Structure 1
Amino acid sequence: MQTHTHKVRRDLLLLWAVIAAVSALLVWLLIELSRQGAASQIAEARLHAAASCQAMQHGVHLARLESASAQAGWQAVIDLALREEPGSEGGFWRPGQGVFAYAFPTYDGTGVKRDPPVAELEKITATAELASRSHQLILEVRPGLREAIVFAACPLTQAPGTSVAWVMKRVLLIQAEVLNHLSLALALLIGLVVMSGAWLAWMLLRWQRQMAALMQQLAQSERMATLGRVSAGLAHEIRNPLATMRMKVENAMAAAPERYQQRSQSAFEAVLAQTSRLESLISSLLALTHPLQIHKQSVDLRAWLTSLTSLHQEAMTTQQACWKLSLSDSVVTRAQAQAVLDPDKMAQVMDNLILNALAHIPVGGEIELGLDSVTSGHLRLWVADNGSGVPAHLRPQVFEPFSTARSGGTGLGLALAREIVQAHGGELRLADTAAGARFEIELPWHTS
């Protein structure tokens, strides 16, 4: 449940990140479109017109053109100043003479355009006269329905009645109007996306609070359910020894005088055996409830596994069973198979798995102890047997307390083994096998 919750939260956060990225992209597009709007285009046209006019003014000074200079010289200055300015046309104006030089270097029509625009000639003259009188750059904008026209005029000298350089640049307002509408649509879209992101963020926060409350309730329910199962199992495990002791004692008390001594002796032995079983049960329960103290150290895994086999060799001989030790080459060559773990606690885990295997293998069976390197950072231990295996109905709760199919078992060994493995940062699982049972332990090589 918790893993599923993390996945849902991760997916929602990823969705929110995508919305944020889309919003950022739309904002960037809106900024770029705003730069193409009518006001921005007119402002940019004013800058280009002023720069072109001043370039023409500077070109005249460099070429040392005078009033009597050839027409070609004046037009050459215009061509040089405006050839990199699409849609810009310009010329020179002189008081009493009007426009005496004109050029449109980027004209789209056929041929070379040398005649000044008649429709705008009055505005060109007015702007040039103002620049000639004021001795400074003059910028004028004439708005229109389809286009706006920017006029720039700058005097060539500071002397009265000086000639003037002028530039005219057209700005298409139809395209700019479309861009304005598109910018508005994008702004609305950005607003919707931002609102969606904000709503999603609010939903994430609300779901997180609700999920935390649900997880708390679920944990409480799981604790109560676990407590119920443990209580039921504990009552069952305690009731059986008590019933056995009571039956033995009652039989001894009801025996005839000549058989009283024999039955009393049998009752005492049964009481001791069942008391030992209860003590084992209590010790396992205490081990589950008390915090585990893990004392890690570097362990030679091959020697450690060999010592485990020697401890159970007598039981294996009685069962006429044999060992199978499987060590992969990757483990043998890895720093002499050294790992960092608590050898005593992990030996307790392996002992429990080996005892389970001994209880289920047939006479002459086989138990396999294996060691392999899963990844560069994890190792895998396993205990496998060729016995009857774990019943299908017990597999889902095989690690739960009091879940056992072994005669005389408490069902606490595997639960405690799992706690020890988890304390090492590992995982204990029951693997799927065609026959028998195989318990696998996956641990980090260094669990510190």
Structure 2
Amino acid sequence: MGRLIGRFIPRSLAGWFAACWGLFLLAAIVAGSTLVSLYRDGTTERLRRAEAALARGCDAITERYRFATTGSARIDWQDPETVQLLTAATLVALRDLPGVEGGLWRSGAGPLAYAYPTYEGAGPKTDVPAAELSRIGETAEAAILRGVPVIRRYDARTQALLLRACPLPGTSLNLAAWVMDRVILFGGPAYLRAAAALAVLTAVLLGSAAWLGWLLWGWSRRLRQIEAALAGSGAEDLPRLAATGQRDLDRVVQAVNGAAGRLAEARRAAAAAAARANEAERLAGLGRVAAGVAHEVRNPIAAMRLKAENALAARDPDRMRRALDVVLAQVGRLDTLTRDLLDAARGGAPLRRHATDLGALVGDRVAFYREQAGAAGVSLEAGGDAIPPAALDGERLERALDNLILNALQATPPGGRVEVAACRGEDGLVLSVADTGRGVPEALRAHLFEPFASGRPEGTGLGLAQVREAAEAHGGRVRALHRDDGTTIEIILPEGPAAAWPAS
């Protein structure tokens, strides 16, 4: 039921206005119909009352005629006194019936007496209305002929004429009493009141339509202004909206402006917090780098010092020679560390882009390390798709692949397999190195590509950091896929033709 009702609920401001005006129009139609019905009922009632008055008038004239002619053996219709007597009797019969006029009619001779006691003119009305004489005669003749009362109605544009004729019983002179009344259909007080009410209702209806339309136009215009202001703002900023002059909308405007202020303040606070977090992260990273460098430098220095001190204390030439061998090995280790640090520092250097065939690059590096892989009992294979040359820094990608291949060979036990591939993926060009080794420890995965993050005691932890620097320098990224049977490292590079990049 709720869903059914919800379908008919307007979901826009214009819909609400249209629904309200539609309900008002329905109420106006009902009220107008009621007024028309009441007026018609009133007209019907006036016609009914007029017919009842005519019946009483006809009976009253009959009674007065009988009273006036009681005891007369013979009536002289030409005698003025007789006519005057009958006129007086008619006058008395109709004096209590407003708007009713009537008289006596003799078949073949016409009207004998006439009276209109409630006439509102300047003086008494004594003449039968000439315009209705023929209708009076037809009605009276019909009553005389049929011997029963006859009532007839004649409708004009603004009024209805009611005529009633009653045959006078007990006479052989073919006499009938007739009465007449007029009922105003249009133009009378009731009609004017109904017309005035309908006019007022129509004016209110049209006025309400104009008023609601003006309100809707004003609301729509102000809403369009707000919408345009919001649409013209940036993706991260809310504009300051101007007041519309409409109280309800201005509350919304004030709420939006307040939200914009709070959002700007929150963004400033977030930016400051992010800056502090970045600074803290930078300092933490610097601390990790410093700690790693100190650790990597301290171990060789400690080993060289111990060997030199022992050799000097023993003064044995053979022992001194072995100590010098250890010192040279540790110097080599320090040299490797220094080179890796310099490579990591050069990660922000400009790229040297040129047309690079990634498939050829993969094949070259696999061929270079195949003998080393065979000595470790590991199968090293090249795979992937044929990819057109792209504008890339081949030397930096070569060093990144070297790091990944060496890590994979060191992590894969004898009998394992390492596959190096270049292909086109959903996000761009992909260089991948997949091994079937021991996998990356869970605790190391979150910091895998950070400097000095290494799972091997002899590792410096700078190789994967250089891989990440190489990928990000190209506008790409690096990711690790941890499988049940090993690890896959992917370098994802944005794809673009070599001609789109100037050589540097």
Q: Which band: TM-score by shorter chain?
A: 0.5 to 0.7
1:320: Cα distance to partner?
2.5
Give distance in 1, aligned partners of 2:465 and 2:474.
Answer: 15
Q: Which structure has the higher relative contact order (CA within 8 Å, separation 6+)?
A: 1
Find the counterpart in structure 2 of residue 266 from structure 1: 322
Find the counterpart in structure 2 of residue 111 from structure 1: none
Structure 1 counterpart of 2:332, from 271, 276, 283:
276
Find the counterpart in structure 2 of residue 250 from structure 1: 309
CA contact (8 A) 2:420 2:432 kept: yes
1:318: Cα distance to partner?
1.1
Residues 252 and 177 from structure 1, CA distance in 2 versus in 1: closer, same or farther, beyond 3 angstroms? same
Give distance in 2, aligned partners of 1:371 and 1:398.
Answer: 22
Residue 274 (structure 2) pairs with residue 215 (structure 1): yes
Give distance in 1, aligned partners of 2:406 and 2:157.
Answer: 110
1:370: Cα distance to partner?
2.0
Give distance in 2, aligned partners of 1:121 and 1:364.
Answer: 112
Give distance in 1, aligned partners of 2:283 and 2:341.
Answer: 17
Equivalent pairs, count: 300
Find the counterpart in structure 1 of residue 417 from structure 2: 366
Find the counterpart in structure 2 of residue 400 from structure 1: 450
Find the counterpart in structure 1 of residue 362 from structure 2: 305
Find the counterpart in structure 1 of residue 50 from structure 2: none
CA contact (8 A) 1:33 1:179 kept: no
1:385: Cα distance to partner?
0.9
Q: Deviations over 1:402-431 (max 9, x none)?
A: 111224210011111101110011111111
Residue 197 (structure 2) pairs with residue 197 (structure 1): no
Match of 2:340, SS?
Answer: helix
Give distance in 2, aligned partners of 1:393 and 1:422.
Answer: 24
Structure 2 counterpart of 1:318, from 375, 388, 392:
375
Find the counterpart in structure 2 of residue 385 from structure 1: 435
Give distance in 2, aligned partners of 1:325 and 1:380.
Answer: 14
Give distance in 2, aligned partners of 1:116 and 1:276.
Answer: 123
Residues 120 and 278 from structure 1, CA distance in 2 versus in 1: closer, same or farther, beyond 3 angstroms? farther
Give distance in 2, aligned partners of 1:220 and 1:202.
Answer: 27
Residue 470 (structure 2) pairs with residue 420 (structure 1): yes
Q: Deviations over 1:317-365 (max 9, x none)?
A: 21122223232xxx43xxx532221111001000000000111111232
Match of 1:172, SS?
Answer: helix
Give distance in 1, aligned partners of 2:187 and 2:293.
Answer: 108
Find the counterpart in structure 1 of residue 179 from structure 2: none
CA contact (8 A) 1:147 1:173 kept: no
- Calculate percent identity across the aligned residue pairs: 35
Residues 173 and 444 from structure 1, CA distance in 2 versus in 1: closer, same or farther, beyond 3 angstroms? closer
Match of 1:326, SS?
Answer: strand
Match of 1:171, SS?
Answer: helix
Match of 2:491, SS?
Answer: strand
1:191: Cα distance to partner?
2.4
Letter in 1 for 2:480: L
Structure 2 counterpart of 1:170, from 203, 210, 226:
203
Give distance in 1, aligned partners of 2:306 and 2:430.
Answer: 47
Give distance in 2, aligned partners of 1:356 and 1:299.
Answer: 24
Match of 1:403, SS?
Answer: coil
Q: Deviations over 1:157-212 (max 9, x none)?
A: xxxxxxxxxxxx633389679969x98xx854322222221111111211111111
- The range that moved more, 352-361 or 403-412, is 403-412
Moved over 3 A (4+): 28-36, 114-122, 146-149, 172-180, 186-189
Report 1:83-162 matches (<5 A): 115=186, 148=200
Residues 116 and 439 from structure 1, CA distance in 2 versus in 1: closer, same or farther, beyond 3 angstroms? farther
Letter in 2 for 1:231: A
Find the counterpart in structure 2 of residue 435 from structure 1: 485
CA contact (8 A) 1:292 1:420 kept: no
Match of 2:451, SS?
Answer: coil
Give distance in 2, aligned partners of 1:147 and 1:286.
Answer: 96
Find the counterpart in structure 1 of residue 400 from structure 2: 349
Give distance in 1, aligned partners of 2:431 and 2:205.
Answer: 78
Letter in 2 for 1:313: R
Give distance in 2, aligned partners of 1:235 and 1:277.
Answer: 14
Residue 399 (structure 2) pairs with residue 340 (structure 1): no
Residues 326 and 116 from structure 1, CA distance in 2 versus in 1: closer, same or farther, beyond 3 angstroms? farther
Residues 282 and 264 from structure 1, CA distance in 2 versus in 1: closer, same or farther, beyond 3 angstroms? same
1:289: Cα distance to partner?
2.8
Structure 2, unaligned stretches of length 5 or more? Answer: 1-11, 25-155, 159-184, 220-245
Match of 1:432, SS?
Answer: strand
Residues 351 and 170 from structure 1, CA distance in 2 versus in 1: closer, same or farther, beyond 3 angstroms? same
Letter in 1 for 2:284: A
Residues 201 and 35 from structure 1, CA distance in 2 versus in 1: closer, same or farther, beyond 3 angstroms? farther
Letter in 1 for 2:330: Q
Give distance in 1, aligned partners of 2:186 and 2:354.
Answer: 97
Name the TM-score, length of structure 2 as normaliser: 0.53
Letter in 1 for 2:490: E
Give distance in 2, aligned partners of 1:380 and 1:237.
Answer: 33
Letter in 2 for 1:245: M
Letter in 2 for 1:370: A
